Structure 1
Amino acid sequence: MRNWNKMLLGLLTAVLIASVPAAAFADAVEGEITVTLGEDLSEEERSNLLEEMDVSEDVEIVTVTNEEEHDYLGEYMDASDIGSRALSSSKITAGEEGEGINVETNNITKVTEGIYANTLVTAGVEDADVYVTAPFDVSGTAALTGIIKAYEAQNDIDIPEEQKKVANEEMVKTSELGERIGMEEATELITRIKEEIGNQPVESEEDLRDLIERIANEMGIELTDEEMDGLVSLFDRMKDLNIDWNQVQDQISHIRDNLDEFLNREDTQSFIASFLDFINELIDSLRSWFGEGSESNQ
């Protein structure tokens, strides 16, 4: 039942991500669009991605290089995993202030929508509707570089380099942890740690380690020594940055509010009930089928 609940929550989250209204950048004009394209896309790939994003060549386009990807990810990933070509691309749309961060992906195999949203909050991005894509299946780890670069261009600001690197480190560590314990669980763990730090900032590394261990235990997650050390190092760097933790909490709150609102809608509950009825009928059919099969083989 616990595994089924996780599967159902994952399904509902995916549906929510596709239905949450467009979000906003704090200083951008509502509806403003910025596109990032990997420098190594072929002309055909570039044209296809622009068509997929439903934008023209006239839109503001920011180019991302493979050198930039290595610069931000080189400390946390092997060069071979980063690759030698910049292909990941994205579309960022500004919307109404206060809607939180909404992410949708296509052809991205390693980084989930939740991980992108969480790391963008760390980087200082607010209220953004983000679409991440590539011409074929890619890990997606390099896309964060372009999204942050586009946010800077759209808002005419410079995000501190250390903050960008911490956001990239968070993305890598969360996705690696997620490969072992599940992406949903890893994302929720990082989110809850951020919420706790926002509520009551920690002063020492020992306090930070205790906080992470407590939250992991509450979630039933057993971290390895290497994973614990990695998270302590990450959040120790993060707490030393000039991060507006009130803003972090606000963005996380919007994401949670959107999920609660979606789950409590009458049509959503009706859908869930119908879906569960369908699953129960399917299970009964399978039970009957397997039962008949086992009797015939005895």
Structure 2
Amino acid sequence: MKRWKKLSITFLSFILALVLLLPISAFADQAETVVTLGKDLSQEQRNAILNEMNVDANQAQIIDVTNQEEHQYLGKYLDKQTIGSRAISSAKISLNKSQGGISVKTKNITVVTNSMYANAAITAGIKDADLYVTAPFPVSGTAGLTGIIKAFEQATGQKIDDNKKDVASEEIVRTSQLAKEIGDGNKAAQFINRLKEEIAKEQPKTADEYKNIIINISNEFNINLNNQTIDQLISYAQNFASLNIDLDTLTDQLSKLRGDISNVLQSKEAQGLFATIGQWFEDLFSAIGDFFSSK
């Protein structure tokens, strides 16, 4: 009897410990979500965007992004009229370490593509997150990165280096300008991605070396760039190089992209390698099939 009582107490203690641990484990698996809303949205627009994001205003972390902050990060690269006088773009970021990498979705963003946001997010040091950028009506989206960065800092409790913020903001602007020049947003993102890879690989020192890399990539993509664009890209490239992001880190983050952006931003070298490996296996299985058929 005493032995049974002892076993019962032990069993109950085990169950109690398990119950106490379950909420902790469940919480650890949940994604930390933070929403940033444009400060100048009306209350009706705020409610509509929260509903669109499927976010409960009483439970989610919600912070505002001001027009002043948009000018702070974009003012070096865009004129005041282009940035505007109202903060409208909103963003949601959910940390997602279980899947890893970055995924991006947008709504009412007319200029900045999903792949542009992903590229700039990697430059800023953002990882393992689902990003969503939206607005109540069509906007360019250049200010959307400000909200993404602010939300990531809030979600992780880690401040992103100001230099990374600055370069990531410049990247969004330069990529969108390049997209306008060549008429293809995804191709522009691919171009910038290749530029970053070559900078990390070659580690150029002089303006001429940066220029040569840009010209070589433009030839690779079969596009012609005007002198102003080349000069702007040289300046951006030098700023990106100052972050000292090594090739392995860059490649690792690009390999973890999820959704359509993984196909857009995957390097041509990687695509070629996977195609070669796939063809090798196809030939191998075909040869094996022919062997047994002949038997």
Q: TM-score, normalised by structure 2?
A: 0.75
C-alpha contact (below 8 Å) 1:88/1:140 kept by paired residues: yes
- Distance in 1, matches of 2:207 and 2:95, equals 38
Q: Deviations over 1:201-231 (max 9, x none)?
A: 2232222211111111111011111111110
Partner in structure 2 of residue 293 of structure 1:
none
Secondary structure at the residue paired with 1:241?
coil
Cα gap change, 1:204 to 1:30, in 2 (>3 Å): farther
Q: Would the alpha carbon gap of residues 161 and 258 (structure 1) be closer, same or farther in structure 2, given more than 3 Å must change?
A: closer
**Aligned to 1:134, what secondary structure does the other structure show?**
strand
1:148 matched residue in structure 2? 149
Which has the higher Rg, Structure 1 or Structure 2? 2
* Structure 1: stretches of 5+ with no match in the other structure: 1-27, 265-298
1:163 aligns with 2:164: yes
Residue 97 of structure 1 and its aligned partner are, at CA, apart by 5.3
Distance 1:125 1:55 in 2: 22
Q: Evaluate the alpha carbon distance shift between residue 81 and residue 198 of structure 1 in structure 2; reply closer, same or farther with a 3 A threshold.
A: same
- Aligned-pair distance for 1:82? 0.8
Q: Measure, in 1, the Cα distance between the counterparts of 2:245 and 2:221.
A: 26
Per the alignment, do residues 98 and 191 of structure 1 end up closer, same or farther by CA in structure 2, a change over 3 Å counting?
farther
1:249 aligns with 2:264: no
CA contact under 8 A between 1:76 and 1:169: conserved in structure 2? yes
Instruction: Answer whether contact 1:29 1:94 (CA < 8 A) is retained.
Output: no
Identity %: 46
Q: Distance in 1 between matches of 2:29 and 2:112?
A: 28
SS state of the match for residue 86, structure 1?
coil
Amino acid aligned to 1:87: I
Q: For the Cα contact (< 8 Å) 2:194–2:217, is it kept in 1?
A: yes
Question: What code does the residue aligned with 1:31 have?
Answer: A
Number of aligned residues: 235
Question: Which residue matches 2:55?
Answer: 55
State the SS of the aligned residue for 1:111: coil
Q: Give the match for residue 33 of structure 1.
A: 33
Letter in 2 for 1:237: N
- Between 1:100-109 and 1:200-209, the stretch displaced more is 200-209
Residue 177 of structure 1: aligned partner:
178
SS of the residue aligned with 1:107? strand
- Per-residue deviation at 1:66? 0.5
1:132-281 matches, cutoff 5 A: 132-181=133-182, 182-255=184-257, 258-259=262-263
Cα deviation code 1:93-143 (max 9, x no counterpart): 111356321111101111111111111111111122101001111111111
Partner of 2:271: none
The two structures, once aligned, show a CA RMSD in angstroms of: 2.1
